[in-house]
Amino acid sequence: MPPDRWHQHNITFADRATAQRAIAERLGPTLLAAQEAAQLTGWWFMNKQPWPLRYRAATPSPLVDSLLSELVVDGTVRSWTYGVYEPETTAFGGTAAMEAAHDLFHQDSRHLLTYEPRPGRLGRRESAVLLFSLLMRAAHLDWFEQGDVWAKAALLRPAAEALTPERTAALIPAMRTLMTVDARSLSRTDGPLDGHAEWVAAFEQAGTTLAHLATGGGLSRGLRAVIAHHVIFHANRAGLRPDDQSALFSIAREASQC
pTM summary value: 0.94
Shared-domain flag, residues 144 and 20: no
Shared-domain flag, residues 29 and 155: no
Residue 115 domain flag? yes
pLDDT digits (tens), the chain, 258 positions: 445 799 999 999 999 889 989 999 999 999 999 999 999 999 999 998 899 999 999 999 999 999 999 999 999 999 999 999 999 999 999 999 999 999 999 999 999 999 988 888 899 999 999 999 999 999 999 999 999 999 999 999 998 888 899 999 999 999 999 999 999 999 999 899 999 999 999 999 999 999 999 999 999 999 999 999 999 999 999 999 999 999 999 999 999 997
Which pLDDT value is given to residue 180?
Answer: 97
Residue 144 domain flag? yes
Shared-domain flag, residues 234 and 126: yes
Shared-domain flag, residues 225 and 153: yes
Shared-domain flag, residues 241 and 150: yes
Residue 239 domain flag? yes
Among 33, 55, 83, where does a domain finish? 83
Shared-domain flag, residues 145 and 182: yes
Among 49, 83, 117, where does a domain finish? 83
Residue 89 domain flag? no
pLDDT tens across 29-74, in order?
A: 999 999 999 999 999 999 988 999 999 999 999 999 999 999 999 9
Shared-domain flag, residues 68 and 184: no
Task: Find the domain containing 78 and state its range.
Answer: 6-83
Residue 1 domain flag? no
Shared-domain flag, residues 123 and 67: no
Q: Give the rounded percent of residues in the chain with a pLDDT score beyond 70.
A: 99
Shared-domain flag, residues 55 and 108: no
Residue 58 domain flag? yes
In whole angstroms, give the CA distance from residue 191 to residue 74: 38
Shared-domain flag, residues 177 and 199: yes
Residue 90 domain flag? no
Among 53, 83, 113, where does a domain finish? 83
Shared-domain flag, residues 73 and 170: no
What CATH number did the domain enclosing 77 receive?
Answer: 3.30.70
Residues 93/213, Cβ–Cβ less than 8 Å? yes
Shared-domain flag, residues 180 and 232: yes
pLDDT tens across 221-244, in order?
A: 999 999 999 999 999 999 999 999
Q: How many domains does the chain have?
A: 2
Residue 88 domain flag? no
